[in-house]
Amino acid sequence: MASDHIVSVNEMDFEYEVLEYSKKMPVVVDFWADWCMPCRIMAPVMEELARDYKGKAMFARVNVDENPEVATRYAIMSIPHFIIFRNGRPTERIVGAVGRGPLEDALK
């Protein structure tokens, strides 16, 4: 699920890629896993939003199986789970395969 518009983030670079970057513009983080079918359904939605909001927001993905410390830090209990970070802090949370509308509304 690699993308030209979405950055894959891990425990080592989460602080820089998400927390620091969110001081410049909002960062939408998709917490997901390979085995999660709703996550796969949301992948094209994230890709579409990342293209449409290029230069206005950054989009990142965290695989919860490969990065359990980040998932635990943000209390990710079910996936897909989206968190929008602004100024180094989580400001919005959306859980589930909700489609484009709710993610875009939260971003605005």
Would you name the residues annotated as active-site residues? 36, 39
DSSP secondary structure letters along 34-81: TT-HHHHHHHHHHHHHHHHTTTT-EEEEEETTT-HHHHHHTT--SSSE
Sign of CA dihedral 13, 4, 28, 83: negative
Whole-number Å distance between alpha carbons of 15 and 34: 23
The three-state secondary structure class of 11 is coil
Tokens 């993610």 belong to 103
